[in-house]
Amino acid sequence: MDPHSILLTFLCLMAAKFTYQVANALFYCHLNKVMHRDIKPENLLLDVFGNIKLADFGWSVHTPSDKRKTMCGTLDYFPPEMIEGRQYNNYVDIWCLGVLCYEFLVGKPPFESADTNTTYTRIKTVDVHYPSCVPSGAKDLISKLLVYAHNKRISLPEVMKHPWISSLKDKARYCVETKQVITL
C-alpha cells in the first residue's frame, strides 16, 4: 500500500471515530437542553487516548424552550436558518457536525469562500463540492447532516448508527491502540 493510501485510510478512520464522538457529546448536551452553537475543530480537545472532548461552551445556551435567534458561532459553520435570521433549535449543532465531518476529511469547511457574501450564498444553497478522496459513505452522511430544512437533518442517534460511522469507528480504535494500519 502506498503512503498516500495509508494516510487516506487513517484519515477516514479518525474522521469516523471523531464524528461519532462529537455526535455522542452533542447528544448528551441536547438531552440536557444545551445547544453548543460553536462546533469547530478549535473547540475540540484530544485526550491522551486519542478521544475527542467537546470544549469552549462560551456560545452554548441552556434552552428549555428550544428556540433561539442569536447569530453566533463561526461563519463557515453557520446553518442557513441562522444566516436568514430565523428561529432555530439544537439542529444547528447537527448542521455544524456535518461541516466538521467534511473538514475532518478535506481539511477545510465546505462553504469556505474568499468573501462573506459568497460563503453565505453557498450555505443558503447548500453548495457542497466533494473532492474525489471523500468516500461515498462519508458523502452520504454529510449530505444528511447538511440539509437546508433543519427538521429534515439526520438525528444524532442516526449519525452514530450510520453505516459509514459504524463500519469504521471501531477499526479506528483498534488501529490507534495496536499501531496497525487497517485497509478499507
The answer to whether the annotation marks 81 as part of a ligand binding site is: no
Cell of 1: 500500500
Residue 183: its pLDDT value, please? Answer: 44
Domain boundaries, the chain: 3-178
C-alpha cell at 179: 499501531
Instruction: Tell me if residue 44 falls in helix, strand or coil.
Output: strand
* 56 known ligand binder: yes
Encode 58-96: b = buried (16+ Cβ within 10 Å), e = exposed. eebeeeeeeebeeeebbebbbbbbbeeeeebbbbbbbbb
151 is annotated as contributing to ligand binding: no
pLDDT digits (tens, 9 = 90+) for 44-73: 999 998 899 999 998 888 887 767 777 777
CA distance 62 to 34: 4
Model pLDDT for residues 25-36, shown as the tens digit of each residue: 999 999 999 999
pLDDT at 99: 98
Q: Catalytic amino acids?
A: 38
What average pLDDT does the chain have?
A: 89
Which pLDDT belongs to residue 134? 95
State the first-to-last Cα distance of the chain, in angstroms, to the nearest integer: 11
Which residue blocks in 32-151 are alpha helix, DSSP H? 80-83, 91-106, 116-124, 136-145
pLDDT in tens, 121-148: 999 999 999 999 899 999 999 999 999 9
Q: What is the pLDDT of residues 93-130, one digit of tens each?
A: 999 999 999 999 999 999 999 999 999 999 999 999 99
Q: Evaluate whether the domain defined by 3-178 bears CATH number 1.10.510.10.
A: yes
pLDDT surpasses 90 at 184: no
Contacts of 103-106 with CB under 8 Å at 24 or more apart are 103/40, 103/41, 104/11, 104/14, 104/15, 104/18, 104/19, 104/41, 105/11, 105/12, 105/15, 105/133, 105/134, 105/138, 106/130, 106/131, 106/133, 106/134
